[in-house]
Amino acid sequence: MSPDAALAETDLTACVAAYLNESLVRGHSRGTVEYRRVYLRQLQGWLGERGSAALEVLTPPVFAGFGEHLMRRRTSYNRPAPTPLSSTTLAAAFSVLRSFGAWLVTHELVPADPARDLRRDRRAPPPQKPILTVTEVGRLLETPDESTLGLRDRAILETLYSTGLRRAELCVLDLYDIDFCAGTVLVRQGKGGRDRVVPIGATALRSVRRYLKEARPRLLPGEGEPAVFLSSITRRRLGAKNLNRIVQVHSQKAGFGKRVTPHLLRHTCATHLLQGGAATPDVQAILGHASIAATPTYTRVTVEDVALAHARHHPRARIEIP
């Protein structure tokens, strides 16, 4: 019996597991696979509430019905009151459904692509979250004290802002990934399984060097842990949730009225680079985007920035036309 034929005789849960495993094999990050798992669990739960989560019920009308359910759904996650799912969330969910539908067809597990009739409304994109100003970044970076954890946190905040690393990318940094002579950080297996080398500024390097010399030895009872940033509880590699908490604690100390996350520092890094004159392809390389089309969504270039750039660089910007 072929593997596809064996899958056809199992349930939807087994097919979802096989699809997710294949995603990992194809080089998708664990974060990508996890959010795919989340949306497909929602699909299974929705099907279960309607009496069947079997593979044979995956038809175009059923997928279209689930899509309509998502467009009607409201959530209060990270919001003061329940609101409809954002256009970004819907786009991600529909992308997962289309990918899973195509996978089912490729493996001949369904007679027709169940995602072929998926349609989503064109609701307005959510308002962009405000980034930190240069002054606000300075305030944030001054909040850690001179304690062991303060030195660690200062190095973390400096690294996030200097490099624009994703949360998971910072957590998996090992000691040999930082080149102090070249002033670079090696990101291993970033999004899409791609490695890249990212520059890190002198100020951030000084903070990291001091943390490694003075604070990290106090957090690590022995040798054998390669991670750069360590948890004070486990004495092992810092986790993503702990990283979120560290950034949030120091943003509160800085007195910000907005929610600050590692991802917001990534946006801030990219925008400040562009505002400082960096070329978009260079910022794309730093952020690790496979396509340059993704980079503008991580930036906050104002109308004034664009107008100033046009006035400085366009050959006819200062010519009066009768």
Q: Among all residues, which ones are annotated catalytic?
A: 166, 191, 263, 266, 289, 298
Contact 75, 82 (CB under 8 A): yes
Distance CA 155, CA 147 (A): 12
The one-letter code for the residue type at 191 is: K
Distance CA 25, CA 4 (A): 17
Distance CA 245, CA 261 (A): 9
Kind of pairing between the strands at 196-199 and 184-187? antiparallel
> What are the distances in angstroms from CA 20 to CA 15, 27, 229?
9, 11, 29
Angle between helices 30-49 and 60-72 (to 10 degrees): 100
Q: How many CB atoms lie within 10 A of CB 87?
A: 15
The one-letter code for the residue type at 150 is: G
Q: Which helix (H) or strand (E) holds 196?
A: strand 196-199
User: Any bridge partners for residue 174, and if so which?
Assistant: 227
**Pick from 85, 45, 90, 48: nearest CA to 67:** 90
**Pick from 132, 165, 170: nearest CA to 250:** 132
Distance CA 204, CA 260 (A): 19
Distance between the two ends of the chain, CA-based, in angstroms?
A: 79
